[in-house]
Structure formats: structure tokens, C-alpha cells
Chains A and B, each alone.
Chain A
Amino acid sequence: MPKRSILHMFDPMPNNSPFDINMAVDTGFDVLMPYNNVKLDSIHGLTQDAIFSRSPAGIKRTGIFIGGRDMGLAMDMIDTAKQAMVPPFEISVLADPSGAFTTAAALVACVEKQLKEKHNKELKDCKALVFGGTGPVGIATGVIASLAGAQVSLVDHMSIDAANDVANEYNRRCQSTLTGSVAGSDEEKSALIADVDIIFCTAKAGIQVLSNEVLAEAKQLKVAGDVNAVPPAGIAGIGANDASIALTSPEGAIGIGALAVGNIKYKVQHKLLELTLDSEKPVYLDFREAFSEAQKIV
């Protein structure tokens, strides 16, 4: 009898995300096991318990998912899990804390596509801002865009120190070249966006970050993407369903809404879970693989 497939879901939070549960079941995992309040120093032991309880053939049907809310912790966990493998006792691991890796990958891939199609530009030619840049989706967006060659600044709405700290931490971890910025008031935002090509909005749901008036100051803007699906939109003039809408001001700029990004995110996460379930050889999947899958999908 073939072994049933098992996804061990390690989560540092008190509970897993029901979103990830639904996605994992719909990908075809037979059994999901939640592990809550998992600390980094438990990952080694948990991983070895997962690999040593099945034969090398059986563990092909076994995977690990790492959730949580903290991107740095998730990256440490996936590294630790990888180091705990003892070939041929090796299984696939996917990290997607808060869905941030797949959401960010989808956002950057959608923006990249519009840049190319409507402006004939590459990310490496562009200057970008990430509003809500110190949250999980914002950091992952910044890192992905930076590694793709864009000149990216993470924007915090309160503290330049917080933004710089996050930028430095992830530059160290991911070899990106992020900088930090702060913009709370409309004046600060107007000044900041005057010369950027790309605006990513990953701020809290239901908060308008850029009004029409402020957005009009972004004279160089080519593409803006928003992941906030709860009205009002994070960027004025971009509806959640817009896959590619021409903004009235600044002229020529394209907007991408949350559900258009969400649709790609969903497909990316599904694909990564499929790879975790089906790959012949074990795979270790984080925001990098999420981005390359998102690029293929768009």
C-alpha cells in the first residue's frame, strides 16, 4: 500500500493559518499535522523525527511547511531543517510565513511584467519604494526586487531607525542592497515618491497610503502594485480587481490591484506545495523559488 502523504506544518505562532491548511489539502496532501509555538531550537529534532520514521521511499511522501509571521525566523528555520537532513533521509521543506513569500513574489512578478510590456523596462533599470516596507510582505517584496536589480527603499510610516534596521538585517541575510526611509505625512510621501519608477504598497489592510494628490507627485512612476484587498485601497485609483489599469495621474503609469496579485499568489503557493509533494529529489523552497515560479506564471 502506498504511504499516505504527510505535511508537517511547523509554526512559531499559537496556531497555523487556515489559509495554508486549505491550500495544502487542496494540493493533495492526505494528512496535515499542525505543530504550534515551535521554537527555532526545536526544528532540528522535529525534522529528524520526521525523516527517521519512514523509509527513504516513504519520506518522499513527507514534507515540511514553515509558517509564522517572521521572515527572518522562517529563513533560520528552513536553514536549520535543511541541515538536519541526513541523506538519503531527506524531505522537501517550504517556507511561506504569513503567505509573505508567495504574496511578495506575485506582486513583484506582476509589476515586472507590466514594466516590460508597457514601459519596456527591467527591474534593474528602476528605483522602487515599498510602503509598509517593514512588515513581512514588505520585506520580502523589497528583497526580491532588490535581488532582481532594482534600487529599493523600505518605507516605514513612523521610524527611520526601524526601516534602516530592517534593511540592514535583510541585506546581511539575503545579500540584497535595501535602504530605509520614513514617510508619515503627505509632504514626506510626496518628496519621497518624486523620482521613483515603482511603488509597492504592502501596508496594513484598509488604510489608504497614497491619495490621488500625493500620487500625482510621482512624475516618474511607471507601475504601482497594491496588496490591500480591503477598501479603501492602499493606493488611490487602483481597484482590487485591476490587473493593469492606466492611472489618470501621473500619466502613463499602470496600477495593479490586490486580487490580481492574489490570483497569482494563489497559483504560486499551489505550485510550491505541489513541488513539496511531488518532487523526486527533496527541494527547499523560499521566496527565491516563489519568485521564479511567479515569473513563469505571469
Chain B
Amino acid sequence: MEKPFILHMLTTAKNLSPFDVNMAMDAGWVSAIPYINVEASEVKDLVQDVIFSRSPKGLKNTGIFIGGRDTKQARDMLKTAKNSMFPPFQVSVFADPSGAFTTAAGMVACVEKELDEKFNTTLEGKTLLALGGTGPVGQAAAVLAAQAGANVRIIGRQLEKSQRIADLCNEEFGEGKINIQAGTDADKADYIKTADVVFATGAAGIELLTAEHIASATQLKVAADINAVPPSGIAGLDAFDNGKAIAGSQSGAVGLGALAIGNIKYKTQSQLLKQMIDSEAPVYLHFEHAFEVARQIVKSTK
């Protein structure tokens, strides 16, 4: 008899996200077992308990999901998990803290599609502002865009924090191959004049870009907002917008709202959870893999 599918779900937070639990069940996992308040130092023991209690064949039906809120911690836990296993005692691991990796992947893939369809161009060489970019989604999106060739600036309320996050993104997630800059909200009005693309990933209900900002953004092509709670993060943009022209834009910029991005995010997370089940060899999934999948989904829904 084939072993039932078990997903061991680790989080550093005090609860799992019910979003991830629903997604895991719907992707075909039969048991989703929570491990909460997990510390980085506990990952190795937990992983080894996972791998030594089933045969290599049974381990094909076993997986580990890493949640939490902190992108670096999740990325480190993924590495630790991978290094705690040895062939043939291996299982697939998928990190998606706060859903940030799949959300960021969905957003960047949608932006690429709009650039291609409406402006016949790519992220390569574009000036990109990541507003409210110090949070988990902003970080992952900034890295993905920078890896795709954009000149990214993370904007936060405090320059010191923006700089710290930019450094983290460059060194930890970009492995020194990208060069994300930092900036502060106070200088937003200047930066926006030369921006081609804007990501708004701030807290829900805060307007990061006003109508005046939009009017002064004469290079702007695509603006994406993950905030589904009114008021939207970008003036004139609605959560349902999926490539609709932004009112008041001089440059014909189009907007991507939270629900359009969320749709791709949802499909991406679901496919990655299924990939863990279907893959012959173990897979170790994070934001880069999420982005590959999101790009394919976006292409196929053209």
C-alpha cells in the first residue's frame, strides 16, 4: 500500500498560517502536521526524525514546509534542512514565509507580462522602486526583479533600515550578484520621476503613491500593489485591476491589483506543493523556483 502523504509544516511563529494549511490539503497532502515556535537550532533534529522513520520509498510521500515571517530565517532553515539529509534519506522542502516568496513571484511575473504586452520590453535596465519594500514580500520581489536585470531601489520610512534590507538582499538572497539600492520615503517624490516600475508592498491600508506622484511619474509603465484593503497602496489602482490604465498617468502606465497578483500567487503555491508530491528526486524550493513557476503560469494564461 502506498504511504499516505505527510507534510511536516515548520514555523517560527506561534501558529501556522491557515492559508498554507488549506493550500497543502488542496494540493493533495493528506496530513498537514504543525510544528510551531520552531527555533533554527531545532531544524536538524526535526528533519532527521522525519527522514529516519520511513523507507526511502515512503519518503517520496513525505515533505517539509517552512513558514514563519522572516525571509532570511526561512532561507537559512531551508539550507539547514537540506544539509541535515543524506541520500537516500531525503524529502522535498519548500520555504514560503508569510507566503512572501510566492506572492513576490506572482507580482514580478505579472509585471513582466505587462511590460512585454503593453510596452514590448523587459525588466532589463528598468528603474524600479520597491515601496514599503523592507517587508518579506518587498524583499523577495526586489531580489527577483534585480536578478531579472532591473535597477531596484528599496524605499522605506527609515534609510538605515532600507539600507540594511538592501544589503541583506544583495548578499544573502542575491549572493553578491545583484546591487539593490536603498532610499527613504522622504525622497519618494524625486525617485518617482524616473521610475519605470513601482512595487507597492507596504502595510494594508496605507497609500504609498498619491495621485500627484502618479502625475509626475513620466516614465512609469507598470505599477503593482499587493494591498487588497482600501485605500489601495497606489492612488487610482483597484485590487481587481489586471493591466488596466492608471487614471492620471501621463505615460500610459498600467496597474496590477492585489487580486490579479493573488490569483497567480495561489496557482504558484499550489503547483510548488504539487511538485513536492510529484517529483521523483527531492526538490528544495524557494523564491527563485516560485518565480520560474509563476512565469510559466503567466505565459500560459496569456
Contacts and interface: CB of A to CB of B under 8 A. Distances in A.
Interface in A221-242: none
Interface of B: 3-4, 6, 8, 30-31, 33-38, 42, 46-47, 49-50, 52-54, 58, 62
Contacts of A14: 36-38
Contacts of A31: 31
A231 to B, nearest CB: 12
Interface residues of A, number: 18
Interface string A234-276: 0000000000000000000000000000100010000000000
Lowest 10 A-B CB distances belong to which pairs? A19-B49, A22-B53, A18-B50, A19-B53, A18-B49, A15-B35, A17-B49, A18-B8, A21-B33, A22-B54
A32 interface: yes
A161 interface: no
A25 B54 CA distance: 11
B62 A22 contact: yes
A26 interface: yes
Interface of A: 14-23, 25-26, 31-32, 34, 36, 262, 266
Contacts of A19: 49-50, 52-53
Residue of A21, A23, A31 ringed by the most chain B CB atoms within 10 A: A21
Which label, helix, strand, loop or mixed, suits the secondary structure of the A interface?
helix
Contacts, number: 56
A17 B37 CA distance: 14
Given A14-B36, A36-B36, A25 B31 contact: yes
Nearest to B62: A22
Contacts of B37: 14-15
A34 B58 CA distance: 22
B194 to A, nearest CB: 50
A22 B35 contact: no
A26 B58 contact: yes
Given A25-B4, A26-B3, A18 B31 contact: no
B162 to A, nearest CB: 35
B40 to A, nearest CB: 14
B31 A15 contact: no
Contacts of B4: 25-26
